[in-house]
Structure formats: structure tokens, C-alpha cells
Amino acid sequence: MLIENRDFLRLKNRPLLEQLNTMEDETDTTIVEDSKQGVPTLKVEVEGKYKYIHSKYNPEQEVSRVIEQFEVEGDAEHIIVFGAGLGYHIPLLANKFPQLTFTIYEPNMEIAKQFLTNFSLKKYGAVQQFIHDKAQLFNELPNLATKYSNVVRIFSLPSYRQIYQLELDEVYETLKKILKGKVASISVNANFQQRWIINAVTNFTKVISTPNVLRDLDEKNFVGKPAIIVSAGPSLNEEFENLKYIKKNKLAYIFSVGSAINALIEHEIYPDATCSYDPKERNQRVLQKLKDKKLTNIPLIFGSTVGHETLYDYPGELLHMVTSQDTFSNYLLTEKNATPLIQDASSIALLTFQLLAKMGFSSIYLVGQNLSFQNNQRFAEGVPYNNQVTENQKLHEIESVEGDLLYTDDGYLTMKNQLEVLIKSTPQVTVYNTTKNGAKIAGTKFLPLAVVIQDHLTEKVVNNDWNKAVKSYNHELIDQRLSSLVKYKEEVITKIEEVESLIQTLNKDEQKNNNKLRRLDKNIKKITGNLYFTTIISPMMRVQIDNISNELKRLDYQENGIEKIDRIIMIYSKLIATMKVTEATAAAYFNQTTNEVLTHD
């Protein structure tokens, strides 16, 4: 092995270096021989027959033709090279795509050794990693997707596509799923990052004036008891009479989630509580029917980042749960015995499941949790949304609780997968799926609700006063922390102005150097370490911060010089501009809440 390749692996992949050091020198399953043109070619034994990795006539001409035909989109940033061979394709890829970086994956250990013995990775700084172990590659894929902003591509020689087809397909599918998930996550963050914090700050006065479900209620009312989560799936239409019976006889606590409350009210079924968490402004429409009817007997359990419009003029009692997206309340309310957070998820049913499990319920029954389409319908009757499934929606086949095939979409499939993970993580709770013709959910037992009433819910368990509580937040501590945030806010504004001025000076400076850049970097770190920034501003611009962080990481591989310094200054300038706008947006809500809390006290 070339000395420079040993150094490369010592830094980048020490386990592979150790494996290669213990390998035998000679092998007859991988053979290097001269091609007809006199340059080396490579063949490997596959199922008793030798197959050429490169042409046995003219390897250089063959690979040149392949690279000529290979194109990537303009936004591509990184290529995973599936198969190293003897490395003929690496210089051609690097020359054709000088702006890209590369990860080389070689599935055959003997080929890996041949490659590293004859090809110097040192000559190609764009090569960031050399991997042989498949598990290591799959562990690295999410990191690559994050680092290179989800624009990662795959290249393979025709021989590898033939010999390692199944493994290559697996890499493609895994990367596709990761990129799809990353894009979805970025989309969610981009859509909600500001609303989460704006809602958290605006809702804070409601949070500290209402009971925390996991802190202030008497758990004796719930431990060992059954609870029902009612969702708005089409099968809910078949369960109204059963739910009326359960409610009338107090056989289980009934929690309505999302828009199911409208269908229940239509049938004069008033759950023990309704739950809501969606940060969007339009979430208020879900409870509009309840507000219009001025129903005071249905408590609302709200996530602390719920759309603040939802809470306005709510006629009934309010209770809350602090969600993981709420960095504001989490800082102000955390004491020695911290209140458990409810992890944000793709549906209110998932948050409510977490909540009920933490409250101590021993059994949870899912009603109307179809997670699929029934007779081309999404929702039960009485839900004021577009209920039709359109023909152009991409659907997936899944198994029903009865063993038949159902159709579902990406959103429902994500909810199903997340719910299954939650159920697996709460073995102390027995979960029954009563949803007729609903999706089969791993970890649950299917049981029709009528059978549940007959065999399980046989006695009165609901305490009418379950929601009565004494609020226990430490208001003195809240005031202290809120006052300190006010001071940190002023510091951050001053520091942003200083850095903005420093960037303007640097842009005019013809003698830029790394010392001056370090001064800028030091001042940026003072901002990003500020408590007001980490609590409020940073969560509101998480997508932009991730993008800027990735841009800076990619510059690590660029040689030092004026061009690199100018690029870093431009990136920091963009960061400061975003900080300034975000701080101005946050300030109005923060100032109002601060005045209300501190003045009221």
C-alpha cells in the first residue's frame, strides 16, 4: 500500500487500515493483468467465473466513454463512487466535476487493497473518504446528506452495476429514503421554525396560568386506567354509539385529537378532553365549531407551541403540555425536577399517545386511527375539510387489521411508522387498535370497540374532577430568568451591530488575512453563545444556520487565500443579515410577553 494512502486511512478510516494490514498478500480471486493496450486491467472471480472490472482491451478508453456520458445536475455537491477498481475513473470524475467532493466505496476488500497499492488518494483532495464496510457506508449516508444539502449523487462503472447490482440498488434506495426524509424535515423546519417560537412566546402567559398535565394533575386518577384516543378517520362513523355508551357510563377516559372533535360534537359526544398542537394559524378552525357553540365542558390540552390563535376565546378549561420545539418555555420553566417534554411528531395523535403513556394509563385504545383511505375518504362525517383522495396522489399498499390490502400516502405512512416506534418504546402500555378496516399497526392488538366494551371496559373509572389541579410553577424563578433574557437580548442586538460594522470594514480592507478573520469568527461565536440567541433567535432560523454551517464546512477543503477569506466574509454577512431580520421579528412578541408577565407579577 502506498505510504500516502496509509496516512489517509490513519486519519479517515483506521479500522479499514487495520483490516488491510492483516490480509494475505496473494490471492487468485482478484487478478491484475495487462490489457491489449499494455495498461493494467482487473478481473474478479464471481460464482466460479472471472469478470472484468475494466476492459481487457482498452480500460482507459472504456472509462473515458463512461465518464463522458455521466452527468449531474447543477446543484450536485458530492458523488458517492460505488467501486474503486484500479481508479481509472477517479481523475476523470475529478477533472469533469472540479467543484464536487467524493466518497469512494469499494465492496471487495481485495480490490480495495489493489487500488490503495497503485492509486494515490493524496493527489485528489476532493476525495473525502474511502470505505469498504457496508455498515459504515450506510451509517455515513445521513451525514453526507446533511453535509452536502441533500444533493448527493452516485456513480458506478458498468461492471459494478452488473456484479454488485443488489448492493448498489440497496445504496440507491437507502440514499433515496434518507434524502426524502431530510427534505421533508427541512420543509417542516422551514415552514414552522418561526411559528414554533412565536407561538411559544405568545402562549407563555397561558402556559404559566394553566395546569401542566404532567406536573399538576393527580396521577392516581390515571394510573392503571384505560384511555381512548379518538381520531378523525373514516371508521369513526361506525363507533359513535359505542363512544356514547363509554362516555355515559364513564368506562374510560376519552381524548379527542385534532379534527375528530367536530365529528364527536355533531353526535353530542363530549370527550373528557380535546388535544391540539398544530403551530399553523389555520389550526384555530379545528375548534371553531366548539367555540361557536360556547361549549364549556370540554377541556383543551394544548401543546405549548400550538397556533396562538387557537387559544383565543376558548370557552372551556385550558391545560397544557410543553413540547420539544419550545425552547423558550423549556428554559424559563425548568427546575430541579424538570417536567418531561412531549416530543414533537407528525400528528397530534402521536403527541397524545406520549402524553397518556406518561400520565400512567395502562391501556390505550385507538379509535378512528385509519392511517389509510376508506371508500376514497380521509375523514369521518362532520369534519370540515376536503375529504376526497385525488387520483394523482402517490399511494402505497399496506396491510389492514383484517389482513386485506389498503392504500395510504406518505403522510399517513410516516405517522404509522412513528406510532409503531412509540408503542415499542412504551412496553408498560397495552395498545389496542379498534379501527375497523384500518392499517395494521405493529405492537397493537386488533379488537372491535364493541368487544372492548364487553370484555375490557366493565366498570366506572373516570373521575369527573380529574382536571382539577393546583398550578405549581415557580414564578419568582420565571421572573428572574425572563429578566436575564431581556439583558441578553440587548447584548445580542449590540453585538450584531458590531459584527455588521466589522464586516463592512473587512470588505473595504485590501489587506485581508486570517488574523482579521479570526476576530470576526470570535465575535460571531459571542452572538451564537448568547442565551437569548440560543433560546429564541437560533430556533427561528435553524434551516438558515444549517445551510450556512454546511457552506463553511465545505470551505474547509479549499486552500487558504483571499478568495476563501472573501467567501467566508460573504457567508458571515448573510448570517448576520438573517439574524438581524429574525431578531426584529422575535422582538415584538418577546417584548409583549415580557411586559405582561413581569408587569402582572
| Mean pLDDT value across residues 287-313 | 95
CA distance 120 to 84: 12
CA-CA distance, 49 to 390, in Å (whole number)?
52
* Cα–Cα distance for residue pair 105/223, rounded to 1 Å: 52
Question: Which of 235, 290, 230, 224 is closest to 254 using CA atoms?
Answer: 230
Long-range contacts, 334-341 (Cβ 8 Å, 24+): 335/474, 335/477, 339/212, 339/214, 339/215, 340/214
Spatial CA neighbour of 430 closest among 213, 227, 214, 217: 227
Distance CA 431, CA 469 (A): 28
Residue 266's pLDDT band (cuts 50, 70, 90) = very high
The DSSP secondary structure of 435-463, one letter per residue, reads -TT-B--TT-EE--HHHHHHHT--S----
Which residue bears the cell 375518504? 377
Q: Higher-confidence residue: 547 or 484?
A: 484
Check: CB of residue 475 under 8 Å from CB of residue 208. yes
Residue 335: per-residue pLDDT: 75
Q: Does the structure show a pLDDT above 50 at 164?
A: yes
Residue 5: count of CB within 10 angstroms of its CB: 20
The number of helices, as runs of H, and strands, as runs of E, in the chain is 23, 17
According to DSSP, the β-strands at 49-52 and 40-46 are: antiparallel
At 274, the amino acid letter reads: T
What is the model's pTM?
A: 0.70
| CA separation for the pair 266, 258 (Å, rounded) | 15
102 within 8 A of 126, measured Cβ to Cβ: yes
**Which of 44, 56, 57 is CA-nearest to residue 107?**
44
Count the Cβ atoms, other than its own, within 10 Å of residue 216. Answer: 18
State the alpha helices, DSSP H only, in 208-326: 213-216, 240-249, 260-266, 288-292, 308-311
SS3 content of the chain, % helix, strand, coil (to 5): 50, 15, 35
**Alpha carbon distance 236, 250 (integer Å):** 19
Largest CA distance in the chain: 89
336 or 363: which leads in pLDDT: 363
Q: Which helix (H) or strand (E) holds 184?
A: helix 165-207
- Write a three-state SS string for 250-280: CCCEEEEECCHHHHHHHCCCCCCEEEECCCC
CA–CA distances in Å: residue 514 to residues 517, 566, 576: 5, 11, 19
Mean pLDDT to the nearest integer, 560-574: 83
Phi/psi of residue 251, nearest 5 degrees = -85, -15
Instruction: Encode 448-460: b = buried (16+ Cβ within 10 Å), e = exposed.
Output: bbeebbeebbeee
Contact present, 467 and 273 (Cβ < 8 Å):
yes
Residue whose C-alpha is closest to residue 273's, from 249, 255, 247? 255
pLDDT of amino acid 388: 47
The whole-angstrom separation of Cα 79 and Cα 49 is 31
The amino acid occupying position 18 is E
Inter-CA distances, 271 with 236, 353, 406, 453, 501, Å: 14, 16, 29, 17, 58
Q: Is the per-residue pLDDT at 381 higher than 80?
A: no
Question: 3-state DSSP call for residue 398?
Answer: strand
* pLDDT tens column, 221-247: 999 999 999 999 989 999 999 999 999
Q: For 264, phi and psi rounded to 5 degrees?
A: -65, -45
Which of 99-113, 291-305, 328-342 has the least mean pLDDT?
A: 328-342
Helix (H, G, I), strand (E, B) or coil at 50: strand
Q: How many CA atoms lie within 13 A of 530 on its CB side?
A: 27
Q: Any idea which residue has 490480509 for its cell?
A: 23
Lowest mean pLDDT among 67-81, 348-362, 461-475, 571-585: 67-81
169-227 pLDDT, tens digit each: 888 888 877 766 655 555 555 667 888 999 999 999 999 999 999 999 999 999 999 99
pLDDT tens by residue, 391-425: 445 688 888 888 888 888 888 888 888 899 899 98
Q: Report d(CA 356, CA 461) in Å as an integer.
A: 15
Q: Which residue has the cell 457506508?
A: 137
Torsion angle of the four alpha carbons 274, 275, 278, 281, in this order, in degrees rounded to the nearest 10 = 40
- Higher local confidence (pLDDT), 149 or 517: 517
Q: Quick check: 65 and 42 in contact, CB under 8 A?
A: no
What share of the chain in percent tops pLDDT 90? 54
Please answer whether residues 421 and 306 qualify as being in contact, where contact means their C-beta atoms are separated by less than 8 angstroms. Answer: no
Q: How far apart are CA 520 and CA 541, in angstroms?
A: 20
Mean pLDDT across the chain:
87
Give the 3-state secondary structure of residue 11. Answer: helix
Domains and CATH numbers, the chain: 3-163 (3.40.50), 214-383+395-455 (3.90.1480), 474-600 (1.20.58)
